[in-house]
């Protein structure tokens, strides 16, 4: 009996060592990375540049190309406005971040459907020769999406990714043992609304959003990329990076959602553990909006187009009966009728202005949300009037960014 007890103690001790050390040792699985910029056009230069920059950081830290999937419209390098054809930079005087970036999904393939299919390892895409995440129960997944957004969705060039569709995909992936843990970084206006009160905390998924559910985003990418380039990712935790980003600005507030225990892990688990020399000088991001260098007449055209859209939305609201136009146009009310809101947003997108091409329109969608403040809003009437109005208005030739 005593001999058995000694043997048992030795067995437990021997097996306890790897259990204790697994927090510090590499996990028995792969790391998959999905990087996506869902906006296109020269006016959205920064979004694709952020994703290119993220690719260079993660590749440098040791994640192999076979485990990285990049989605980007790819219309900047050869753009007629590009003063350095074939070169994309993401900071003044910085290196070319475009060189070597994979072209896994470009142009018309930049869709929310493909984005979700990539994550779940869609077999049809794989059979068509497209890269997808072929993950299993021991693998980690890191996702970075740089996008325009509004309450409950983010936009792609010709479509929208709804918060519920994203959550449903993550839940299904967890159920199908597609990952051990998943980390999702979202840089978009209203980014928090994609996860707030939606993302479960029991599916081993953690999300960091650039903003609160009702805030505009500016420099989330600047912060996390800057931080990742200047620290040892094998020692810095996700929480440490979150704390840095959350306090980097005064006009936007990063948030955390889902399984917050994951933020105790080191960044290297999701971004690579290879040691990389610090790049340039480490500096605190400024609270300012980066403005592309553009001729004055383009800025004037932009303002005129925005004023036109403002006027058109105001005219539509004033045509509705049974609502307080001033409140609808100048407030931020609770959306109590989501069916109404989604129907109006869809009609506006289909009939009035493509939200993926006219990013200024995204900021105005709160007006449609205010129209749907009442749970008994007259959905059909409001939608019919919007359809009719959209068919009659004059739209600018240029996109309203």
pLDDT at 113 exceeding the cut of 60: yes
Structure-token pair, residue 77 = 């390098």
In this prediction, residue 22 carries a pLDDT of 40
Backbone φ, ψ for residue 61 (5° rounding): -85, 5
In a 3-state reduction of DSSP, which class is residue 49? helix
**150, 209: one domain:** yes
**179, 54: one domain:** yes
In this prediction, residue 281 carries a pLDDT of 54
pTM of the model: 0.81
Domain finish residue from 275, 305, 331? 275
In this prediction, residue 293 carries a pLDDT of 37
CATH of the domain at 161: 3.40.50.1460
pLDDT at 32 exceeding the cut of 50: yes
Domain with 183 in it: 31-275
What are the start-end ranges of the H helices in 247-351?
268-271, 296-318, 325-330, 338-347
**351, 383: one domain:** yes
Active site residue 231: no
The predicted-structure confidence for 329-360, as pLDDT tens digits, reads as follows 999 999 999 999 999 999 999 999 999 989 89
CATH of the domain at 374: 1.10.132.130
In this prediction, residue 322 carries a pLDDT of 87
Domain finish residue from 275, 304, 325? 275
By C-alpha distance, which of 326, 323, 170 is closest to 344? 323
**175, 257: one domain:** yes
> Across residues 233-245, what is the average pLDDT?
97
**154, 255: one domain:** yes
Q: CB–CB of 56/63 below 8 Å?
A: no
In this prediction, residue 3 carries a pLDDT of 41
By C-alpha distance, which of 315, 307, 309 is closest to 394? 309
* DSSP at 285: P
Pick the catalytic residue from 53, 72, 174, 189.
189
Pick the catalytic residue from 148, 266, 342, 349.
148
In this prediction, residue 25 carries a pLDDT of 43
**328, 192: one domain:** no
Cα gap 20→271, rounded to integer Å: 23
DSSP track, 137-199: TT-EEEEEEE-EEETTEEEETTEEEEHHHHHHHHHHHHHTT--SEEEEEEESTTGGGGTTTTS
Active site residue 230: no
pLDDT at 264 exceeding the cut of 70: yes
In this prediction, residue 64 carries a pLDDT of 97
* DSSP at 349: I
In this prediction, residue 280 carries a pLDDT of 58
* In the chain, % of residues over pLDDT 70: 88
In the chain, the number of structural domains is: 2
> What pairing do the DSSP bridges indicate for beta strands 153-156 and 148-150?
antiparallel
Q: CB–CB of 178/133 below 8 Å?
A: yes
**220, 368: one domain:** no
């Amino acid at each position: 009996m005593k001999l058995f007890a000694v043997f048992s103690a030795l067995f437990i001790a021997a097996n306890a060592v790897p259990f204790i050390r697994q927090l510090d040792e590499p996990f028995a699985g792969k790391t998959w990375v999905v990087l996506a910029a869902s906006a296109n056009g020269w006016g959205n230069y920064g979004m694709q540049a952020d994703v290119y920059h993220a690719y260079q950081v993660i590749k440098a830290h040791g994640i192999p190309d076979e485990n990285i999937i990049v989605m980007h419209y790819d219309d900047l390098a050869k753009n007629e406005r590009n003063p350095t054809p074939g070169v994309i930079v993401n900071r003044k005087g910085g290196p070319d971040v475009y060189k070597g970036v994979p072209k896994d999904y470009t142009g018309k393939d930049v869709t929310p459907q493909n984005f979700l299919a990539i994550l779940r390892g869609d077999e049809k895409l794989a059979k068509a020769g497209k890269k997808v995440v072929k993950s299993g129960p021991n693998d980690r997944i890191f996702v970075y999406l740089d996008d325009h957004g509004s309450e409950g969705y983010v936009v792609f060039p010709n479509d929208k990714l709804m918060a519920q569709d994203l959550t449903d995909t993550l839940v299904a992936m967890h159920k199908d043992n597609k990952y051990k843990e998943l980390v999702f970084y979202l840089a978009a206006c209203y980014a928090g609304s994609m996860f707030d009160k939606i993302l479960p905390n029991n599916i081993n998924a953690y999300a960091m959003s650039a903003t609160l559910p009702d805030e505009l985003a500016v420099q989330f990418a600047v912060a996390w990329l800057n931080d990742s380039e200047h620290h040892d990712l094998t020692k810095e935790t996700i929480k440490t990076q979150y704390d840095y980003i959350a306090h980097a600005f005064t006009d936007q507030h990063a948030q955390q959602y889902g399984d917050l225990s994951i933020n105790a892990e080191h960044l290297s688990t999701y971004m690579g553990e290879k040691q990389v020399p610090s790049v340039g000088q480490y500096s605190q991001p400024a609270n300012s909006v980066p403005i592309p260098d553009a001729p004055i007449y383009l800025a004037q055209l932009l303002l005129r187009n925005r004023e036109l859209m403002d006027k058109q939305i105001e005219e539509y609201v004033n045509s509705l009966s049974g609502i307080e136009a001033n409140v609808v146009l100048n407030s931020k009310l609770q959306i109590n009728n989501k069916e109404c809101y989604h129907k109006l947003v869809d009609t506006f997108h289909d009939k009035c202005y493509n939200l993926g091409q006219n990013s200024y329109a995204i900021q105005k969608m709160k007006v449609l949300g205010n129209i749907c403040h009442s749970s008994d809003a007259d959905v059909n009437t409001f939608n019919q009037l919007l359809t009719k109005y959209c068919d009659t208005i004059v739209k600018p030739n240029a996109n309203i960014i």
